[in-house]
Amino acid sequence: MKASRIGWGLACGVLALTAYVAWDNWGDTWLAPAKPATSPAANTTAGPLEKSAQIERGQYLARAGNCVACHSARGAEPMSGGRRIETPFGAVFSSNLTPDAATGIGTWSPQDFWQALHHGRSKDGRLLTPAFPYNHTSVITREDSDDLLAWLQSLPAVHQPVQPHTLMWPVGTQAALAVWRSLFFSPAPFKADPAQSAEWNRGAYLVKGLGHCAACHSPRNALGASGAVDDLSGGLMPVVNWYAPDLTRESETGLASTPLADIVQLLRTGQSRQAQTSGPMAEVVQHGTQHMTEADLQAMAVYLQSRASKAATAATATVRAKVSLVVAEKGLQIYDRHCVQCHGEQGQGITTATGDAAYPALAGNRAVLLSDPTNLVQTVLYGGYGPATALHPRPFGMPPAVLELDDRDIAAVLTHLRTQWGNQANEVTPLQVNRIRAAQGH
């Protein structure tokens, strides 16, 4: 009898949990009124000039959100989907967002598109995988959602069926996605802070929503969930294995003390007097931020700077690492052979006539001094390349050394960078280099 009661109790608990998860993920559709028989793709009452302006706004928003980076496979038409996106749980393939009726979003209404952005659900109610950052797109206003759709519907239709995802079971099932969403997802429509300026609020909207900065700049847990849309505390990006620095810490980014004009320049061109972009951030600049208006970049800079902490660097960061004589000599030899011509004998770098960094200084460089050396190892292994932008079309680059330097060589030269010219950071070990190299399959 007791076992029977326990069994009934467990069954009731499972049923209650199932009902909650179902309601949490689809409850709003059960209460929504029936859709009209037709599904207009956009506002049919708009005149030609108004429609043209809406499409232009939508194109701008798509660029600000860097949509093309994920929704365009190499060699394919823009926004036709099919790009393979690796995750720790397998691969997903991006959706075709062109107005093809069979394989794209040609039959989607503004409400269907809004549902995808705000709730992370497809037109048919299917839950989308969180590789699509719908926690961030839920921030986007309905007006911006409609403008985005208007632009997408203006593109040439491309018939390109998307390949099925190859996620490990049961990760890709609707049941598993529903549970994951109940644990980690809740729509976060933007709410302006009345205590802040209109410029600050515009920056917050762009950073939290279209910019989806926290998708990279926040840590992820074992189930792949990132922090809140305003969590900029940094973390290691899975699969690509780049470290996204903590944007709220002065010691990692210097945002609190960097002039706003220089932050804007970095977002627009990929480089400034203090920093250069590389890796995933270079792609963001190339496909996204370089196309944004000066006012929007300024707003983002204002918001990011306000979030940056001005706390002093911890005292432990000033303790110089103890390096063996063998490692020190080896690091100096490799630096003299491969690095000194561009970065200088004192790590001072080379600047252009306009004051921009052709080759960045390594002395006092925050990227060099990060406690996590992942980005340094990645740069030496695979090269460092900034984005080609309209205002900086021919950036200088750094050749890869993946086939030339072994793990001990890379560890030694990076230790040299981190312990010379006043730099005081921990030694990089061959084991750390080996793990990063192995994670990339080389």
What is 339-352 written as a DSSP string?
A: THHHH-TTS--EE-
pLDDT of residue 306: 95
Say whether pLDDT at 405 is over 50: yes
Average pLDDT over residues 175-190: 94
pLDDT band of 10, cuts 50, 70, 90: low
Does the fold of domain 315-439 match that of domain 198-307? Answer: yes
Q: Mean of the per-residue pLDDT values for the chain?
A: 88
**What is the per-residue burial (b if ≥16 Cβ within 10 Å, else e) of 54-63?**
bbebbbbbbb
Say whether pLDDT at 41 is over 50: no
pLDDT of residue 91: 94
pLDDT of residue 372: 92
Pick the more confident residue, 15 or 366. Answer: 366
CA distances (Å), origin 284, targets 140, 159, 262, 289, 397: 19, 27, 17, 7, 17
CA distances (Å), origin 386, targets 157, 245, 338, 350, 377: 33, 17, 19, 16, 16
198-307: CATH number = 1.10.760
pLDDT band of 146, cuts 50, 70, 90: very high
**% of residues, the chain, pLDDT over 70:** 87
The fourth-level CATH superfamily of domain 315-439 is Cytochrome c-like domain (1.10.760.10)
Say whether pLDDT at 1 is over 70: no
Average pLDDT over residues 191-210: 97
What is 246-304 written as a DSSP string?
A: -TTBHHHH-TTTS-HHHHHHHHHHSB-SS-B--HHHHHHHHHTGGGS-HHHHHHHHHHH
Indicate the domain borders of the chain: 41-184, 198-307, 315-439
pLDDT in tens, 287-332: 999 999 999 999 999 999 999 975 444 444 445 567 888 888 999 9
317 SS3 class: helix
- 269, 391 in Cβ contact below 8 A? yes
Say whether pLDDT at 46 is over 90: no
Single out the residue of 64, 189, 71 nearest to residue 128, CA to CA. 71
Say whether pLDDT at 283 is over 70: yes
223 SS3 class: coil
The one-letter code for the residue type at 283 is E
pLDDT band of 360, cuts 50, 70, 90: confident
pLDDT band of 20, cuts 50, 70, 90: low
